[in-house]
Amino acid sequence: KKYVYYFGDGKAEGTAQMKDLLGGKGAGLAEMTNLGIPVPSGFTITTEACREYFKQGKRFPNGMWEEVLTHLKRVEKSMGCKFGDPKNPLLVSVRSGAKFSMPGMMDTVLNLGLNDDTLKGLIDKTNNERFAYDTYRRFITMFGSIVTDIDRKKFEDLLDKVKEKKGVKLDTELDAKDFKAIVKKYKELYKKETGKEFPSDPYEQLKMAIKAVFDSWYGDRAVTYRKLHGIPDDLGTACNIVAMVYGNMGENSGTGVGFTRNPSTGEKRFFAEFLPNAQGEDVVAGIRTPLKIEELKKRMPKIYAQLEKICEKLEKHYRDMLDIEFTIQEGKLYMLQTRVGKRTAAAAIKIAVDMVNEKLIDKKTALLRIEPEQLNQLLHPTIDSTANVKVIAKGLPASPGAAVGRVVFSAQDAEEWAEKGERVILVRNETSPEDIGGMAAAQGILTARGGMTSHAAVVGRGMGKCCVVGCGAININEEEKYFTVSDIKVKEGDYITLNGTTGEVILGEAPLVMPKLPQEFYTIMKWSEEISRLQVRANADTPKDARVARDFGATGIGLCRTEHMFFDAERIKAFREMIVSDTVEQRRKALDKIKPYQKEDFIGIFKEMKGLPVTIRLLDPPLHEFLPKTEEEIEGLSNDMGVSVRRIKAKIKSLEEFNPMLGHRGCRLGITYPEVYEMQVRAIMEAACELAKKKIKVIPEIMIPLVAHVNELKIMKDLTVRTAEEVMKAYNVKIKYSVGTMIELARAAITADQIAQEAEFFSFGTNDLTQSVYGLSRDDAGKFLPFYIDHKIIDEDPFISIDTEGVGQIMEIAVKRGRKTNKNLKLGICGEHGGDPASIEFCHKIGLNYVSCSPYRVPIAKLAAAHAKL
């Protein structure tokens, strides 16, 4: 059995492909060595050895230690010095390195192999006492804190005391004598803390450090991290032993970290920082401020040029942007690590497109390098990450981006303040449909209750508006207009900032930056379109939404909700009149007032969509959602209509339902009040005809909601066709329109073969479909779904990602049965899931024609659609 893999002198036993066995770091070191890049010699103990170690009750597997000793000899030979040799000592670093880099794994111990004897050798060899003692005290600190778990602060405190006494701030200002004194104190500390002398035998040190690396695999933090990221527990970690090179040998030495390209902008330029006369993680530790890499170019132009060459070589080889760690020892460069670098969305896009242009990767690879969800970062204003902010609470990050504004506690205030030009944040316990106006007027929305699919969250996402929900830490006093978080009181008019990407609530005005979409973004969108089969449409209720959708490249509107058009102060009056009417005549009179509004909206939307299809859903929600609630509203309505307050109240009472979501809504309204749907069809077709007369192309698709039985659709279709024909005749034009239905009830899905004979298209309303198939009330699920997810009873909120095993199967049935009786049936999805990458992949798989999502998610959906095909 081979447990140890060597690298050095331009040749390695491992390769980049052996991440499973050698871990990321080991594989990278091997690969760099094979590429002829200067790496200090060393070897990697495999993850298999680690697994064996645990199997045998924390004992090194047979033969492993012997192999370590053999390979240590090879390193000695390669470096021309000997481990534990008091004349010419070899020192090594011991570094953990699992397949996935993960916090919680053991930190690196540098300079291992030092003791009082080898220290002398190091002094003689380098003729640099200060360097040697600096190295020694670093080693004791790392070994003591990392391998034997002494609180690192205790070492630092001792160091600080010496600095204080001397009146200096930086380690670099200390001399050999100071470090000598520190080493003595450190050894005392070690003895006091562990009850043992500091181990002087280098081999003993090495054994202990390797064990510590293996043990860290089951450290609490590592275990938690793996659980959160779904990394299996049985992979084990590798352990790398690398000959030391010294960045702390003076001003012509140093250490640095960097990226082959700029990781935040993607700019193709070596991006790094370095610190002269420093070792290991001094750069990241933040004690001294590192220098920009341009400074290295000035000081050591040759090294800089060599680094640039290495970056180029690495990129050519890995065909990706990499991060690197390097050390310079007395004017000689060594590479100590490389791996694929993390990057922002903006950088990911630029790098992907640039690399295609540089012929490093093909378009498909480029698309796969960008996570659809990542694009969100680009599509909303964000908080300037360099700003110092005060976070006072944290809720659920319901809709990303950032918003700054003054706090208001009612939708009405939001609208009024916004009209006066104020930026406001609407803060409520929860929101409801009548808050829409205020929500639209606000910069952002904060609620104390509700989950990721609460009204506020869904509407917020739909509007592309920053929204934080379910922030239980805030206590709202609506009466007196303030909210509190522990002992902080935020009054109406005070500024707060919301971070919809993290859920943070920040006191005061945090500075925002609006990312401008780079050219490369549009290139990625173009490539996505070329590759994907699924079309991407948008859910848009207003001409403004429609414009955003088109700008982001939507190929149509998949859902235009007509009821959202009524939440304007004037319109809702007419609509209420309609609802409380007792007779058909009264109702028609009220409907006649509404029709012009609807028509105007449709004209606006059709115009924006420039000939792309627009699916319009006829009235869907239960009527009582629109009813007046306050005495004032009721009185107003009574005056307007000349109907007594008592009669109106009686009417309101009569409209109450026990279970409105399964009640009198959708096509059930259309069937019992045909004049309502008739008016809507008229408005749609008149708008279409008027535009057609002006030679503007329109494709209306009229959608009947909440159909359960084919007969419902039959009746509604007859009414729609009859009305449409009438309108076209009156205008004397012919336009192509279609009639279809939503599939949002289990019965409709199961009887899709019958329904498809009456429908030209199906659109899966997966919000309601999930609700009805799962028997899960969207408005109440927040009380227990989070518990289910925390306790792994289910993996994911079915309102966020399609429950493919349950709801998804029903969709598949509907697709199959529908297409069987109507092979031209067009299929789409318009629920919230239409913007969720995992759900989009599923939609692709079951053969839908399009997905429809909120306008701001169109780019995400487009990329996800391409990924689904790849």
List residues near ligand ADP by CB under 6 A: 40, 93, 95, 108, 110, 242-245, 255, 280-281, 325, 327, 336-337
| Residue 40 binding partner per list ligand ADP, Mg ion, none, with a CB distance cut-off of 5 to 8 Å that depends on partner kind | ligand ADP
- Spatial distance between the Cα atoms of 467 and 380, rounded to a whole number of angstroms: 12
Q: What letter does residue 144 receive in the DSSP assignment? A: I
Distances (CA, A) of 477 to 388, 430, 495: 29, 13, 17
Residue among 280 and 395 whose Cβ is closer to ligand ADP: 280
- Which among 502, 496, 544, 550 has a CA at the least distance from the CA of 380? 502
Residue among 240 and 497 whose Cβ is closer to Mg ion: 240
- Spatial distance between the Cα atoms of 221 and 106, rounded to a whole number of angstroms: 10
| Residue 841 binding partner per list ligand ADP, Mg ion, none, with a CB distance cut-off of 5 to 8 Å that depends on partner kind | none
- Spatial distance between the Cα atoms of 816 and 634, rounded to a whole number of angstroms: 49
Distances (CA, A) of 637 to 225, 564, 630, 640, 643: 59, 20, 11, 5, 8
Interface with Mg ion by CB under 5 A: which range of 119-127, 333-341, 464-472, 618-626? Answer: 333-341
Asked if residues 564 and 598 have their Cβ atoms less than 8 Å apart, the reply is no
Using a 10 angstrom Cβ sphere, with 0-12 exposed, 13-18 middle and 19 or more buried, the burial of residue 124 is middle
Interface with Mg ion by CB under 5 A: which range of 151-159, 321-329, 539-547, 718-726? Answer: 321-329
Nearest distance in Å: CB 415, Mg ion:
51
Residue from the set 128, 135, 262, 337 that interacts with Mg ion by CB under 5 A: 337
Q: Tell the residue number behind the tokens 């208001």, with chain if given.
A: 408
Residue among 246 and 409 whose Cβ is closer to ligand ADP: 246
Residue among 300 and 579 whose Cβ is closer to ligand ADP: 300
Residue among 239 and 769 whose Cβ is closer to ligand ADP: 239
Q: If DSSP states are collapsed to H, E and C, what string results for 359-406? A: CCCCHHHHHHCCCHHHHHHHHCCEECCCCCCEEEEECEEEECCEEEEE
Nearest distance in Å: CB 325, ligand ADP:
4
**What are the residues whose beta carbons fall under 8 Å from the beta carbon of 360, sequence distance 6 or more?**
315, 316, 319
Distance in Å from the first CA to the final CA of the chain? 39
Nearest distance in Å: CB 819, Mg ion:
54
Asked if residues 263 and 321 have their Cβ atoms less than 8 Å apart, the reply is yes
- Spatial distance between the Cα atoms of 462 and 299, rounded to a whole number of angstroms: 54
Nearest distance in Å: CB 237, Mg ion:
13
Residue among 117 and 273 whose Cβ is closer to Mg ion: 273
The helices-and-strands tally (H runs, E runs) of the chain is: 34, 34
Catalytic residue among 50, 71, 81, 455: 455
- Which among 491, 493, 490, 480 has a CA at the least distance from the CA of 423? 493
Residue among 334 and 521 whose Cβ is closer to ligand ADP: 334
Nearest distance in Å: CB 256, ligand ADP:
8
- Spatial distance between the Cα atoms of 39 and 30, rounded to a whole number of angstroms: 9
- Spatial distance between the Cα atoms of 14 and 8, rounded to a whole number of angstroms: 11
Asked if residues 267 and 351 have their Cβ atoms less than 8 Å apart, the reply is no
Residue among 273 and 371 whose Cβ is closer to Mg ion: 273
Nearest distance in Å: CB 97, ligand ADP:
7
Nearest distance in Å: CB 208, ligand ADP:
17
Nearest distance in Å: CB 221, Mg ion:
12
Distances (CA, A) of 661 to 658, 666, 745: 9, 10, 11
Residue 830 known to be catalytic: yes
Nearest distance in Å: CB 94, ligand ADP:
9
Residue among 295 and 492 whose Cβ is closer to ligand ADP: 295
| Residue 95 binding partner per list ligand ADP, Mg ion, none, with a CB distance cut-off of 5 to 8 Å that depends on partner kind | ligand ADP
Residue among 336 and 505 whose Cβ is closer to ligand ADP: 336
- Spatial distance between the Cα atoms of 237 and 102, rounded to a whole number of angstroms: 10
| Residue 110 binding partner per list Mg ion, ligand ADP, none, with a CB distance cut-off of 5 to 8 Å that depends on partner kind | ligand ADP
Spatial strand order of the sheet with 322-329 comes to: 291-292, 271-276, 254-259, 322-329, 332-340
Strand pairing category for 89-90 and 82-83:
parallel
For helices 152-166 and 129-142, the axis angle rounded to 10 degrees is 150
Distances (CA, A) of 69 to 12, 61, 244, 296, 685: 17, 14, 17, 38, 85
Site string for Mg ion, 69-108 (x = CB under 5 A): --------------------------------------x-
**What single string gives the DSSP state of each residue in 279-309?**
-TTHHHHTSSPPEEHHHHHHH-HHHHHHHHH
Nearest distance in Å: CB 325, Mg ion:
5
Catalytic residue among 471, 667, 830, 853: 830
Q: Where are the alpha helices (H) located in 167-201, listed in sequence order?
A: 176-194
Nearest distance in Å: CB 281, ligand ADP:
5
For Mg ion, the nearest residue by Cβ is 337
Interface with Mg ion by CB under 5 A: which range of 6-14, 264-272, 318-326, 506-514? Answer: 318-326
Residue among 108 and 499 whose Cβ is closer to ligand ADP: 108
Q: Six-digit token pair at 330?
A: 């007395």
Nearest distance in Å: CB 99, Mg ion:
15
- Spatial distance between the Cα atoms of 401 and 615, rounded to a whole number of angstroms: 28
Residue among 260 and 337 whose Cβ is closer to Mg ion: 337
Q: Six-digit token pair at 835?
A: 């913007």
Nearest distance in Å: CB 227, ligand ADP:
21
What length is written for the chain? 870
| Residue 245 binding partner per list ligand ADP, Mg ion, none, with a CB distance cut-off of 5 to 8 Å that depends on partner kind | ligand ADP
| Residue 499 binding partner per list Mg ion, ligand ADP, none, with a CB distance cut-off of 5 to 8 Å that depends on partner kind | none
Residue among 106 and 351 whose Cβ is closer to Mg ion: 106
Looking at 744-780, which runs of residues are DSSP E strands?
761-764
Strand pairing category for 254-259 and 271-276:
antiparallel
- Which among 399, 397, 425 has a CA at the least distance from the CA of 502? 397
* Count of other CB atoms within 10 angstroms of residue 431: 25
The residues of the shown chain that bind Mg ion, judged by CB under 5 A, are 107, 325, 337
Catalytic residue positions, numbered? 455, 830
